[in-house]
Amino acid sequence: MSAKPNPLTVYEGALRAAQFIRGRADKAVSVAIVLGSGLGAFAEGLGQSVSIRYDEIPGFAHATVEGHAGRLVIGSAEGVTIAAMQGRFHFYEGYSLADVTFPIRVLQLLGVRTLILTNAAGSLNTELSPGSLMVISDHINLMGVNPLIGPNDDRFGPRFPDLTLTYDPALQNIVMEQAEAIQVDVRRGVYAALSGPSYETPAEIHMVRTLGADAVGMSTVPEAIVARHMDMQVIGISCITNLAAGVSNRPVDHSQVIAVGERVREQFTELIRRVIARLE
């Protein structure tokens, strides 16, 4: 697949995409959420919403994975206007990380200051069982590449951004407090990102556990890095859909990921709505 924006003109491409979106949904948006595999139903409950297919937006790639509808939905939740991405693009689909993170650039130019990143993840921690949620406290980038490699555009951010507080501690606390209020099982943990698309081997999982990760997946980290490059506040939430290879002897299958996402839909939606209400 060919890259969408030229790395030297990402800013201009993102401005063009933002202008297109404003032409379809002229609403002030300060909060956005990226909905991972099986979690896209949250966007269906937004009020007064406008839905735009990714293939209509200049510079956007095409979502090809089951559980990723491929739409940007702008609407209201708890009195807050938000932008919800129903699905994301992945490095393993053949896209460059410039393609994968391009929507995050566009969201920032739309005025988004707080970004909620969600994903489906495999558990490396036996205390994180399928159906539970994990607030990401930090990440380990094992994808072998960084989305900021290449020429830096100072209009987005500095050449060497600091990632000490990638996932805002105060926002983590909000998620934990709201989860406790509705009795949803949520723990903090470290998320490790690998490139995929094959699931990890037991030996690889043993390595990642040794490095200190609690959950593993194939997304989120490039988006978080780019968001922090642009000084956005980031919340990360993983839906634990399976036990990783070697933690369980059961084979890992994507249909299980979708099924667990469906099972936790109501709890997940309620939690996100409560968090969004607190953000304002």
- Between CA 18 and CA 106 the distance in angstroms is 6
Q: Could you tell me if residue 2 is inside a domain?
A: no
Active site residue 255: no
Dihedral angle over CA of 191, 142, 166, 57, nearest 10: -100
**What mean pLDDT value characterizes the chain?**
90
Active site residue 66: no
Is residue 35 a part of any domain in this protein? yes
Residue of 14, 25, 32, 37 with catalytic role: 37
What mean pLDDT is predicted for residues 90-103?
Answer: 95
Average pLDDT over residues 121-141: 93
Domain CATH code at residue 141: 3.40.50.1580
Q: Torsions phi, psi of 267, nearest 5? A: -65, -45
Choose the catalytic residue: 17, 18, 32, 68.
68
Catalytic residue among 17, 120, 143, 230: 120
Indicate if the pLDDT at residue 1 is higher than 60. Answer: no
When mean pLDDT is compared across 48-52, 85-89, 253-257, 276-280, the lowest value belongs to: 253-257
Which of 25, 32, 242, 245 is catalytic? The answer is: 242
- Phi/psi at 24 (5° precision): -95, -30
Predicted pLDDT at 65: 64
Residue 1 lies in a domain: no
pLDDT at residue 2 is higher than 50: no
Residue written as token pair 């130019």? 109
CA atoms of 243 and 230, how far apart (whole Å): 34
pLDDT at 265: 80
Is 229 in the active site? no
Q: Which domain holds residue 96?
A: 7-279
Q: What is the pLDDT of residues 61-86, one digit of tens each?
A: 977 665 557 899 999 999 899 999 99
Determine which one of 90, 132, 215, 238 is catalytic. Answer: 90
Band (26; pLDDT cuts 50, 70, 90)? confident
Closest CA to 67 of 51, 87, 93: 87
Among the listed residues 14, 43, 63, 93, the single catalytic one is 93
* 51 noted as active-site residue: no
**Burial of 140: CB neighbours in 10 Å, binned 0-12, 13-18, 19+:** middle
Which candidate in 11, 44, 69, 92 is catalytic?
A: 92
Write the pLDDT tens digit of every residue in 177-234. Answer: 999 999 998 999 999 999 999 999 999 999 999 999 999 999 999 999 999 999 999 9
pLDDT at 258: 72
Among the listed residues 18, 25, 218, 230, the single catalytic one is 218
Q: Is 62 a catalytic residue?
A: no
Judged against a pLDDT cut of 80, whether residue 263 lies above it is answered with no
* Residue 4 pLDDT: 53
Q: Is 218 a catalytic residue?
A: yes
Does residue 132 have an active-site annotation? no
Set 41, 141, 248, 254: catalytic member = 254
pLDDT at 8: 47
Rounded to an integer, what distance in angstroms lies between the CA atom of residue 166 and that of residue 162?
8
Residue 143: active-site member = no
Mutual angle of helices 169-181 and 265-279, in 10-degree steps? 130
Which of 25, 115, 103 lies closest to 60, judged by CA? Answer: 103
- Is 12 one of the catalytic residues? no
68: annotated active-site residue: yes
Q: Note whether residue 100 is domain-resident.
A: yes
- The total of structural domains in the chain comes to 1
